[in-house]
């Protein structure tokens, strides 16, 4: 047996694979070249993927389950939307404003989140979503209430590229943001901090006995995650030029959790894959029969959870590793 | 000055008294055995020392510092390490990752979220050295859940050592591993640097009498008797209550 080189082993684990490069190139080219009529959908998918990656950080890596993460998505959306409505429509600074605002709110909420677990955690995150929807509804002079936030005007990207109905600029902008967020999160999960999160998820009792201040670590990742969710919301607000109450609501929180579970938690690409599958399927299926759409999602969710507990991407990885070990087993048997 | 000391610790779960006025001293460099029948409160005492449980009254001192009010993780930072009677590990992660994380935390770099883990070469090398020393080097890149039970027991100890403890509390380190291997495990514990003070819980009296420099016998949450292995072996009370009885747990 080859002696193990621990540094190399850890480095390889975090290495960029050719599949990843191929994926991002495809994500840039395919929608522009082959589906120019679907660029609005593609932007929506990219923004949702950002949101889903944010959720993966807390659920997949840190083990904090949330049914209310749309709260931060919506806060970011309203922050950027209102900023634009009040006269500052520069997209990049607006998106960062939404992210920082949502991150700040996430930091406040994190003090509560890290003190509870299991059912209490679900209820707190759920309650947070309900509360914010009602708050946004009540503050209709600011948010537009149930009519939604109108009058958002997003200026040209870099002062040059106009956001048009066709979504050329929107997709480039959103995909670029998704790529940057992905790079940042990839760094995070492969850092010492990322490893510490995984150990807390696996066994908080043990990390405590190793000197880890669990709560502080979890607060940090929750804040980062809230900021990224806010960024996603802000970008969607800017590119669609509207924000509605349901951007904060339970349905969106549940949808994003479903996407993450479908794609596979704790692997970043699962979040991306889940967003693509969910939104493409919704676009196609709900065209046929809108009421039926959740029937199929429900079925798919149950099948995936039963037969692929690590999600579709986890299932694919398993099949791939089975195929690559098979030849060895045959040699053993011979 | 003692490495670790408890003063009049009391703890009850409802009406069940599990720690009854316990005062124990662990001198520097000690190899101190804590013995007693099942349910005597041995694990509870370790939990009170580490802060996993809060005593109803009494105090815990690490060196000359009163640590009773400190959180568990802060006590670890001050040099109080432990292992668990039941494996308390990170199933999906490898021994290499688990140990590296523990060392990163000790070095104060576990907060770092913008540089790759692979750049922590010092921590990785130390982790690998520790795993080599304890005999886990060949399997250190397998998920912990795939390791043999005995290997997981070894990882328990490696993780505790990764915190560089001044005082190490071992809760039945050899529990569940074959007798032939437990002696080797205790040899490794005996070989730890002399400035680490060790308190261990163990049921095998041969191991206890071979490796302990001093012994505390705990029965129903009370210290029954304390002394050198020789004194304990010849104590009539111990013979009656514990060594002579059928119940060794
Ligand atoms: N968290 C707890 N709540 C209630 N009772 C407990 C708890 N932990 C331990 N006990 C009880 O306290 C007693 C001492 O347990 P323990 O310290 O584990 O004993 P030992 O390690 O000596 O076998 C046992 O009767 C056990 O059932
Ligand atoms: Mg015990």
Kindly report the nearest CA distance between residue B98 and chain A, in angstroms: 7
Place B179 in a pLDDT band, splitting at 50, 70 and 90.
Answer: confident
Contacts of B76 in chain A (CB under 8 A): 208-211
Residue B189's Cα: distance from chain center in Å?
11
Residue numbers of A between 165 and 204 with CB closer than 8 Å to B: 187-188, 190-196, 198-199, 202-203
**Ranges of each domain in chain B:** 4-90+165-243
pLDDT in tens, chain A (334 residues): 678 899 999 999 999 999 999 999 999 999 999 999 999 999 999 999 999 999 999 999 999 999 999 999 999 999 999 999 999 999 999 999 999 999 999 999 999 999 999 999 999 999 999 999 999 999 999 999 999 999 999 998 998 898 888 889 999 999 999 999 999 999 999 999 999 999 999 999 999 999 999 999 999 999 999 999 999 999 999 999 999 999 999 999 999 999 999 999 999 999 999 999 999 999 888 777 767 888 888 999 999 999 998 999 999 988 988 888 755 444 443 3
pLDDT at residue B249, as a whole number = 40
Which ligand has the nearest atom to the CA of B41?
1
Pick A196 or B181 by higher pLDDT: A196
Q: Mention every residue, 6+ apart, whose C-beta is less than 8 A from residue A197.
A: A57, A61, A62, A63, A189, A217, A218, A221
The residue-averaged pLDDT of B226-231 equals: 93
Measure in Å the smallest separation between the Cα of B72 and chain A Cα atoms.
6
Instruction: Quote the percentage of chain B above a pLDDT of 70.
Output: 97
How would you list the strands of the sheet with B57-62, edge to edge?
B16-26, B4-13, B57-62, B65-66
Superfamily of the domain at B4-90+165-243: P-loop containing nucleotide triphosphate hydrolases (3.40.50.300)
Q: What is the mean pLDDT of residues B69-86?
A: 97
Is B116 an interface residue toward A (CB < 8 Å)?
yes
Closest CA to B58 of B73, B39, B78, B44: B44
For residue B248, name the pLDDT band (cuts at 50, 70, 90). Answer: very low
Residue B243 pLDDT > 70: no
d(CA B70, CA B51): 7
Q: Which of B43, B50, B86 to mutate to test the pocket of ligand 1 (most atoms within 8 A of CB)?
A: B43
- For B57-66, what is each residue's pLDDT tens digit? 999 999 999 9
C-alpha A7/C-alpha B141 separation (Å) is 11
Query: What pLDDT does residue A1 have?
Result: 60
Q: Is the pTM of this model over 0.90?
A: yes
* Cβ-based contacts of B165 with chain A (< 8 Å): none
* Domains of chain A, CATH where assigned: 17-284 (1.10.3470), 293-334 (no CATH)
What pLDDT band is residue B246 in, cutting at 50, 70 and 90?
A: very low
DSSP state of A247: G
Q: Across the beta sheet with B222-227, what order do the strands follow?
A: B80-82, B167-171, B197-201, B31-35, B214-219, B222-227
Residue B88 has its nearest CB partner, among A196, A203, A217, at: A203
Q: Where do we find the tokens 């029969």?
A: A289
Q: Compare all CA atoms of chain B with the CA of A199 and give the residue at the minimum distance.
A: B90
Binned at pLDDT 50, 70 and 90, residue B244 comes out as low
B141 to chain A nearest CA, in Å?
8
Report the C-alpha gap between A111 and A101 in whole angstroms: 17
Q: What pLDDT is stored for residue A334 in this prediction?
A: 33
CA distance linking residue B244 with residue B193, whole number of Å = 34
């Amino acid at each position: 047996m080859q002696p193990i080189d621990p540094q190399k082993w850890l480095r390889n684990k975090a290495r960029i694979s050719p599949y990843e490069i191929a994926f991002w190139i495809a994500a840039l080219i395919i929608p522009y070249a082959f589906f120019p009529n679907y660029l609005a959908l593609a932007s929506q998918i990219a923004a949702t993927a950002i949101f889903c990656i944010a959720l993966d950080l807390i659920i997949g890596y840190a083990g904090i389950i949330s049914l209310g993460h749309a709260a931060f998505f919506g806060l970011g959306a309203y922050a950027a939307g209102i900023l634009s409505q009040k006269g500052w429509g520069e997209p990049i600074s607006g998106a960062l404003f939404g992210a920082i605002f949502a991150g700040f709110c996430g930091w406040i909420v994190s003090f509560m989140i890290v003190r509870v677990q299991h059912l209490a955690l679900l209820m707190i995150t759920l309650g947070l979503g309900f509360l914010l929807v009602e708050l946004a509804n009540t503050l209709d002079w600011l948010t537009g209430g149930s009519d939604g936030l109108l009058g958002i005007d997003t200026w040209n990207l870099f002062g040059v590229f106009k956001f048009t109905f066709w979504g050329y600029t929107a997709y480039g902008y959103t995909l670029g943001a998704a790529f940057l967020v992905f790079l940042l999160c990839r760094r995070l999960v492969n850092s010492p901090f990322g490893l510490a999160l995984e150990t807390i998820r696996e066994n908080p009792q043990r990390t405590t006995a190793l000197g880890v201040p669990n709560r502080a670590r979890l607060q940090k990742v929750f804040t980062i995650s809230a900021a990224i969710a806010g960024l996603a919301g802000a970008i969607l607000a800017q590119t669609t030029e509207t924000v509605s109450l349901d951007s904060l609501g339970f349905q969106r929180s549940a949808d994003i959790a479903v996407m993450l579970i479908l794609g596979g938690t704790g692997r970043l690409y699962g979040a991306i894959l889940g967003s693509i599958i969910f939104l493409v399927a919704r676009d196609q299926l709900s065209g046929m029969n809108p009421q039926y759409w959740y029937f199929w999602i429900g079925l798919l969710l149950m099948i995936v959870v039963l037969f692929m507990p690590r999600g579709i991407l986890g299932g694919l990885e398993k099949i791939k590793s089975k195929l690559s070990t098979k030849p060895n087993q045959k040699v053993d048997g011979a | 000055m003692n490495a670790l000391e408890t003063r009049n610790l009391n703890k009850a779960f409802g009406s069940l008294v599990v720690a009854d006025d316990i005062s124990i001293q662990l001198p520097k460099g000690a190899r101190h055995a804590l013995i007693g029948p099942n349910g005597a409160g041995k694990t509870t005492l370790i939990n009170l020392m580490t802060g996993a449980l809060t005593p109803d009254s009494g105090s815990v001192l690490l060196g000359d510092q009163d640590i009773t009010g400190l959180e568990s993780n802060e006590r670890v930072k001050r040099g109080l390490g432990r292992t668990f009677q039941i494996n308390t590990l990170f199933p999906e992660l490898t021994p290499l990752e688990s140990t590296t994380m523990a060392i990163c935390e000790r070095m104060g770099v576990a907060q770092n979220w913008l540089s790759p883990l692979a750049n922590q070469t010092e921590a990785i090398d130390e982790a690998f050295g520790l795993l080599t020393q304890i005999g886990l080097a060949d399997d250190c890149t397998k998920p912990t859940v795939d390791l043999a039970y005995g290997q997981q027991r070894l990882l328990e100890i490696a993780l505790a050592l990764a915190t560089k403890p001044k005082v190490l509390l071992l809760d039945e380190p050899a529990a569940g591993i074959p007798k032939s291997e437990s002696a080797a495990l205790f040899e490794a514990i005996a070989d730890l640097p002399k400035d680490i003070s060790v308190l261990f819980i163990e049921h095998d009296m041969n191991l206890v009498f071979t490796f302990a420099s001093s012994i505390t016998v705990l029965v129903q949450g009370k210290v029954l008797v304390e002394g050198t292995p020789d004194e304990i072996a010849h104590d009539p009370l111990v013979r009656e209550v514990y060594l002579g009885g059928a119940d060794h747990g």
